[in-house]
Structure 1
């Protein structure tokens, strides 16, 4: 493939080139980090060197049980995300399929989704206490509304020609929903779940900011209090690695379940 073709819109590239460019982007970021720290451009208090972060990562795993923090955070994020998906996916499909459902729910969901989840923490504490339920509620609130509206948009984008053809062939309204709308929406819905799972992780620190004794967000906030910048960066990197693994899983699942979409072949 010529260099000119690489910059043409919508032109595919080989999986090998895709993977190589992805690796190069991480290498460039690491080199920039090394130059800023080892070159003395940024003081260690603000940005520790890579070897300091690696040493502190080993320390956190060996002596401060970072594994338990990871498991606690994964449980909270996954529980909040799954609870949101359990309600948002069917509701979004109904809103995208039936105008009456869209009229009933879209305005109120669009209104609430602009409200920051952090502003509701005092109410969640009042209603649910300071246990796991409050933290899961923050994750749920941060992802549910966007997820519902995105699923609605995916469902609304199902081709009207397919639906009209099905009616012409005598398919019942229930059959159109089951055999046309739902199968055509599933690839986009899975992609929506992949994106919103990433959003769920962005609310982790907010969810664990109050009365948490474990979790990556709790560790990051405690490290900030004692100016342990290396620990903060370790927590951020761990969240990023988990996010990449989740993304890889969803892309693999997309490729296995819906190979015609062309997604999942690259990471």
Structure 2
């Protein structure tokens, strides 16, 4: 590789990194602009402007209870998502290594996943009550099934040729898993990390709405019957910001892993 091509490649990498950050930020700015224009044209109390939402959010952030709700949501989300990543990835990887268990469990997991999650939430209330445990468990349940399914499919779909070559030279099982299977699964795992974060967060907000006495989901639902539209839109904007930061970071991680471990076509 010549110096010119190397510099061009580094330039492309830097450009890709810049775009990965600039595009979400630009989209956010565009959406806020459209929101502002729509509110100004409507001139209705039903649709507050971004300035009104920001004012109400700033006022709410002054309150100890609202800040505690943010902390409670972040705490529950961290526990649920770590559980999704660790347990879901490990279980999916273990099941995917066995063709028998992969074929046997995949239809069951797909059937459970097809059931609307909100239908199952009363079961969490019955067994865990109106506690943090029920909300964390429901958030975990919302994210762990897709994590398991995606990792199972990725593990079971490892190309056969490298595995046959490894078997022909009597490569130890652990070496096959470490050098062939795991690198092949990493791109799908990176995608699962990004997708399941949003599903876990959504499950947590639903749990807080129905069973919480604190948290952003609880704060959001509490303001609906009171008709506090400025508070509602401000809290929705805050939720979007909280989600955007880790999702952007996970998207960057996903792109880097895919660039490194995805097979080259052609």
User: Which TM class, normalised by the smaller chain length?
Assistant: 0.7 to 0.9
SS of 2:209's partner is coil
Once the two structures are superposed, residues 194-238 of structure 1 have per-residue CA deviations (whole angstroms, 9 ceiling, x without a partner) of 210111111233111234221000000001121111211122111
- 1:265 aligns with none
Q: Does 1:139 align with 2:139?
A: yes
- 2:88 aligns with 88
Question: Is the alpha carbon distance of 1:50 and 1:112 closer, same or farther for their aligned partners in structure 2, counting shifts above 3 Å?
Answer: same
Instruction: Give structure 2 stretches of 5+ with no counterpart.
Output: 1-11
Identify the range of structure 1 (47-56 vs 99-108) with the bigger mean alpha-carbon deviation.
Answer: 99-108
Q: What value does the CA root-mean-square deviation take over the aligned residues? A: 2.5
TM-score by length of 2: 0.84
Alpha-carbon separation, structure 2, partners of 1:156 and 1:126: 36
Once the two structures are superposed, residues 220-262 of structure 1 have per-residue CA deviations (whole angstroms, 9 ceiling, x without a partner) of 0001121111211122111211111112332454577776259
Q: Does 1:31 align with 2:44?
A: no
- 2:236 aligns with 236
Alpha-carbon separation, structure 2, partners of 1:259 and 1:114: 32
- 2:45 aligns with 44
The answer to whether the 8 Å contact 2:93/2:155 transfers is yes
Alpha-carbon separation, structure 2, partners of 1:138 and 1:173: 36
The answer to whether the 8 Å contact 2:136/2:204 transfers is no
The answer to whether the 8 Å contact 1:94/1:101 transfers is no
The answer to whether the 8 Å contact 1:95/1:106 transfers is no
Instruction: Give structure 1 stretches of 5+ with no counterpart.
Output: 1-10, 263-267
Identify the range of structure 1 (15-24 vs 243-252) with the bigger mean alpha-carbon deviation.
Answer: 15-24
The answer to whether the 8 Å contact 2:205/2:217 transfers is yes
- 2:165 aligns with 165
User: 1:43 Cα shift?
Assistant: 1.8
The answer to whether the 8 Å contact 1:81/1:143 transfers is yes
Alpha-carbon separation, structure 1, partners of 2:243 and 2:255: 18
More helix by share: 2
Alpha-carbon separation, structure 1, partners of 2:19 and 2:77: 33
Matches of residues 111-260 of structure 1 in structure 2 within 5 Å? 111-254=111-254, 260=260
